[in-house]
């Protein structure tokens, strides 16, 4: 099982056709689509022909994908009279919005006549049953996963999480599957790697901190307001600033904006940002979710007070804490817990150690590595 990356070719031979099957919704969140969009951009830069297939869930990101210049073939939102069939190993099947067999059939129709060179699937609601049905529609099938909790039928599997081992998938994929595991393959936009030098020279000497709060694209449980409340009572040094990032479908935006207006230090709320790398590079600490954005912060050496907002984030969060790159807040944290962790991360010596630990985890070039593997059919 190979975990090496880049090849020597720099373009798609005969313009490979690549399709992505991925969804976003108020339940799923935005991370799956955003990381696929990153990989799609790297593939396009190599000359590949890329399009997306997505279901029309509430909170979808279809317009964002189209605005990035990629066609989207829409699967209709489903309103089944019967509940979906039970999934044997995971609770994520309901995320699909349809029975897996129906989704497979609709995806085949969306792919159209002929086959694509690569079908990239990033969906917790799909497994080997669906993938087997799509094998005839593509030369190669790649799965993006974080869970290692269900079988797959694929040529390549990517799991970008820290602490993940190829052995975690050894009984879940064919023996011929190429496993690419670890944050060296994290799908980060190129602007993070471009700003990495800023993280390398980052220093914090205990002055008024610049704090970034980013609790995910949806923040379904309004953790952002809890964090602002906690910070409001911490007596931050004069001159401290807070930047809050929300997704375009964040349901608590008005409440967050009202709270931000009451904060004792300058606090701005930014919605649907396109300059996240600049925001990470321009901050001293982050308060964030333990999802895919953790790798963005690591790339730029930004220490984080982190919360686990979904079960699939737990192992990665534990690995980040063990590596010394983050401090973990329990979901039911007390004022004392928050104050203690905040004091730790704002201690210059602790901050410097965490910054170094972050920088060791990923260099931000994972999307280019993956794109070259796909473009060169390096399987």
Bridge partners, residue 158, by sequence: 144, 180
281 is written with which tokens? 């590079």
Task: Please indicate if the annotation marks 238 as binding a ligand.
Answer: no
Asked if residues 63 and 249 have their Cβ atoms less than 8 Å apart, the reply is: no
Strand 156-159, strand 178-181: pairing: parallel
Strand 116-122, strand 138-144: pairing: parallel
Q: What share of the chain is helix, strand, coil (3-state, %, to 5)?
A: 40, 20, 45
Catalytic residue among 32, 57, 249, 351: 32
Q: Is 32 a catalytic residue?
A: yes
Interior/surface letters 96-131, b for 16+ CB within 10 angstroms, e for the rest:
bbbbbeebbebbeebbeeebbbbbbbbbbbbbbebb
Task: Please indicate if the annotation marks 189 as binding a ligand.
Answer: yes
Q: What is the largest CA-CA distance in the chain?
A: 63
Task: Quote the CA–CA distance of 140 and 121 in Å, as a whole number.
Answer: 11
Task: Quote the CA–CA distance of 151 and 134 in Å, as a whole number.
Answer: 15
Q: What are phi and psi of 121, to 5 degrees?
A: -120, 120
Q: What are phi and psi of 178, to 5 degrees?
A: -90, 120
Question: DSSP code of 86?
Answer: P
| Residue 24 CA from chain centroid, whole number | 12
Q: Could you list the residues known to form a binding site for substrate, using ranges.
A: 189, 296
Catalytic positions = 32
Q: Could you list the residues known to form a binding site, using ranges.
A: 189, 296
């Amino acid at each position: 099982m190979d975990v090496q990356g880049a090849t020597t070719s720099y373009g798609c031979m005969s313009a490979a056709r690549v399709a992505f099957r991925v969804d976003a919704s108020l339940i799923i969140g935005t991370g799956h689509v955003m990381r696929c969009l990153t990989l799609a951009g790297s593939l396009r830069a190599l000359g590949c022909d890329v399009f997306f297939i997505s279901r029309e869930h509430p909170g979808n990101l279809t317009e964002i994908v189209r605005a990035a210049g990629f066609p989207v073939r829409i699967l209709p939102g489903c309103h089944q009279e019967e509940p979906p069939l039970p999934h044997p190993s995971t609770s994520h099947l309901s995320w699909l919005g349809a029975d897996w067999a129906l989704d497979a059939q609709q995806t085949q129709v969306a792919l159209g006549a002929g086959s694509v060179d690569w079908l990239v699937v990033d969906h917790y609601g799909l497994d080997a049953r669906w993938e087997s049905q799509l094998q005839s529609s593509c030369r190669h099938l790649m799965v993006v996963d974080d869970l290692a909790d269900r079988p797959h039928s694929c040529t390549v599997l990517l799991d970008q999480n820290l602490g993940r081992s190829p052995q975690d998938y050894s009984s879940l994929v064919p023996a011929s599957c190429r496993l690419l595991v670890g944050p060296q393959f994290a799908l980060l936009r190129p602007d993070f790697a471009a700003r990495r030098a800023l993280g390398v020279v980052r220093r914090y000497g205990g002055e008024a901190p610049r704090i970034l709060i980013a609790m995910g694209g949806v923040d379904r449980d309004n953790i952002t307001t809890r964090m602002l409340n906690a910070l409001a009572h911490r007596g931050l040094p004069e001159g401290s600033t807070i930047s809050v990032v929300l997704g375009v479908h964040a349901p608590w935006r008005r409440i967050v904006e009202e709270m931000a207006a009451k904060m004792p230090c300058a606090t701005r709320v930014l919605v649907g940002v396109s300059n996240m790398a600049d925001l990470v590079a321009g901050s001293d600490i982050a308060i964030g979710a333990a999802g895919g954005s953790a790798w963005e912060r690591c790339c730029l050496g930004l220490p984080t007070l982190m919360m686990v907002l979904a079960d699939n984030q737990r192992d990665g969060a534990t690995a980040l804490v063990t590596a010394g790159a983050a401090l973990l807040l329990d979901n039911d944290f007390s004022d004392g817990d928050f104050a203690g962790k905040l004091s730790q991360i704002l201690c210059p010596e602790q901050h410097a150690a965490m910054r170094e630990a972050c920088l060791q985890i990923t260099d931000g070039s994972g999307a280019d590595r993956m794109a070259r593997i796909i473009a060169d059919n390096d399987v």
